[in-house]
Amino acid sequence: MVPLRRAAAGKEYGPNLQSSTWDHMDEQLAQLDACGVACSAMTYSAFLEMAIGAAGLSRSEGVRIANDAMAEAQACYPGRIVGAAAFDAEGGKGGLAELRRALDSLGMRIIHMMTSYDGLYPDDPRFWPVYEMAAEYNVPVFVHPFASPANWEQLMHRSAQGPLLLRGQVGMLLDTTLCIGRLVQSGVFDRFPQTKFLFCQLGGFIPFLAGRFDSAYLMHRYYVEQGKIPASAPVPARLRDYFGRFWVDIHAVDGAAIACAVRQVGIDRVVMGTDAPYRPLEMGVRLAMEALAESGLTAEEQRRILCDNGRALLGVEP
């Protein structure tokens, strides 16, 4: 993984990837120890695709290197690291074979995916074998936001007044929101009821959108009853019917947003999450803990988010 990280460090976001902490698990674990984190689920964030390209590797080569390195980290630090399997979204049968190798032979406990792949979203049928495999191995599918689709770049970055810098603040949350909305409306959650999905940053704006989905559903019913649209017309899904079907983490959000998410998706569907070591320690793990402390949740509810929910999702013993 070191060559992949160093290749990506020369690209956009490079300064955040230049710390030696990325290359030394002992340093990462020392940071987690300082915050009282006993076990960490390790994934690849949005940088794996960038790193593979910057290193001049094919996607299949890069994914295999990443999986082997993750398996080594998990084996070297049993009980401390829970590793994620990288997935080659364009690999076809070969990509699925590599994913099975990562879950079966390497013992990965999570499947890492992106919210979109150059405009291709996880509701596409080509991803259905991944969800079947996740249910077969009883591992969650962790869906990390893409930086932002190419056609959003101008909107996220430039205005007549200068740089906007909205990719991380808005773009990633929008892509996550669109991803979940598509999974709901396309019926993927219904088709794969045993598959566990985990999304970053409270699932984007999803906790705030139940009323909008309700409105669309009720309008549809009204127009059907009025005879203005046929009863066979596609029915807008009710988002609140799917709260409880997926998990969300609390990375880079505030206490009020956490409280809203808990009220909507349920206390047992919210887990601790940060992007350490991408962010400095005080802006990653500690910031998430501070936001949770300011959420107004009880000590028991906070403990469930910090520890119990994640352990249950990953099947990690206390």
Output the CA angle 121-231-190, nearest 5 degrees: 35
β-pairing, 158-159 vs 162-163, is antiparallel
**β-bridge mates for residue 162, sequence order:** 159
Q: 89-98, 113-122, 153-162, 165-174: which range is least confident on average?
A: 153-162
Give the pLDDT confidence score for residue 252 in this predicted structure.
87
| Fold of the CATH domain 38-208+247-314 | TIM Barrel (3.20.20)
- Residue 87: which region, alpha, beta or left (left: phi > 0; alpha: psi -120 to 50)? beta
Residue 177 pLDDT more than 80?
yes
Question: Which residues, in sequence order, are CB contacts of 118 under 8 Å at separation 6+?
Answer: 149, 150
CA 317 from chain centre, in angstroms, equals: 22
Lowest mean pLDDT among 8-22, 204-218, 232-246: 8-22
User: From CA 310, how far away is CA 302, in angstroms rounded?
Assistant: 12
Average pLDDT over residues 228-245: 92
End-to-end CA, the chain? 29
Q: What is the pLDDT of residue 158?
A: 58
Task: Say which residue, 27 or 12, is predicted with more confidence.
Answer: 27
Contact between residue 309 and residue 271 where contact means Cβ atoms under 8 Å apart:
yes
- The domain segmentation of the chain, as residue ranges, is 38-208+247-314, 209-242
Render pLDDT for 95-117 as a digit per residue (tens, 0 to 9). 999 999 999 999 999 999 999 98
Ranges 52-56, 131-135, 160-164, 281-285: which has the least confidence? 160-164
Residues with Cβ within 8 Å of residue 315, at least 6 apart in sequence? 109, 138
Within 37-139, strands assigned E span 40-42, 81-85, 110-114
99: number of Cβ within 10 Å = 25
For the whole model, what pTM was predicted? 0.89
pLDDT tens per residue, range 21-48: 667 788 888 888 888 888 999 998 888 8
**pLDDT score of 162:** 53
Q: What is the token pair recorded at 296?
A: 């107004």
Nearest alpha carbon to residue 141 among 235, 41, 241, 261: 41
CB 120 within 8 A of CB 146: no
List the single range of 47-51, 61-65, 181-185, 197-201 with lowest mean pLDDT. Answer: 47-51
Other Cβ atoms closer than 10 A to 203: 28
Strands (E), 8-99: 40-42, 81-85
Identify whether the C-beta of residue 310 lies closer than 8 Å to the C-beta of residue 271.
yes
